[in-house]
């Protein structure tokens, strides 16, 4: 791992190894979800893509949840914020994506107010159950074994375009 990747991964609390997926369970419109690292530590853009054959309507905020290595829920505080502004109701046709900014507030694993999560899940009303979010590292590749040391998370509103959603500007 090079120095830049290592420094950014450490700042966000990522450990690189293994693999992850982003497919939904049956029973609704399947979606894929990727959380892509931006310039500032903890600054991410969530892309939700309609992987089905029917339209999917989105409005409001992505619903993120976190799991520990043993798949037990991790109570990371998640705050919904009006960034970059109010949600824009969006209908995703098959293959289309919507975007939301996500700010991960990291901390040391040894701190009592830090939660360690290895799986990030996304729930979208109308979609086929929760999906595992693929984390994309600073090198543009999926993080195999994501380990997030989180104090809290801020989630921005769904938007039809990526412009303006990056938490780098929050």
3-state secondary structure of 96: coil
Return the half-sphere exposure (C-beta side, CA atoms, 13 A cut-off) of residue 46.
30
Query: CA 128, CA 125: separation in Å to the nearest integer?
Result: 8
CA 58 – CA 125 distance, rounded (Å) = 8
pLDDT on residue 128: 84
The string of pLDDT tens digits covering residues 48-100 is 999 999 999 999 999 999 999 999 999 999 999 999 999 989 999 999 999 99
* Strands 119-123 vs 31-37: parallel, antiparallel or unpaired: unpaired
Give the chain's length.
170
Residue 7 parent element (H or E): helix 3-12
């Amino acid at each position: 791992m090079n120095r830049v990747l290592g420094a950014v991964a450490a700042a966000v609390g990522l450990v690189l190894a293994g693999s992850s997926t982003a497919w939904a369970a049956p029973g609704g419109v399947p979606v894929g979800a990727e959380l892509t690292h931006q310039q500032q530590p903890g600054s991410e853009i969530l892309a939700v893509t309609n992987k089905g054959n029917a339209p999917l309507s989105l409005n409001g905020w992505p619903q993120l949840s976190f799991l520990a290595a043993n798949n037990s829920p991790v109570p990371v505080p998640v705050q919904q914020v009006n960034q970059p502004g109010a949600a824009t109701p969006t209908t995703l046709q098959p293959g289309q994506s919507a975007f939301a900014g996500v700010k991960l507030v990291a901390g040391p694993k040894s701190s009592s107010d830090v939660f360690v999560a290895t799986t990030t899940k996304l729930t979208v009303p109308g979609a086929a159950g929760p999906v595992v979010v693929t984390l994309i590292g600073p090198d543009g590749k999926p993080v195999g074994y994501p380990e997030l040391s989180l104090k809290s998370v801020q989630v921005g509103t769904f938007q039809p375009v990526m412009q303006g959603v990056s938490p780098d500007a929050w």
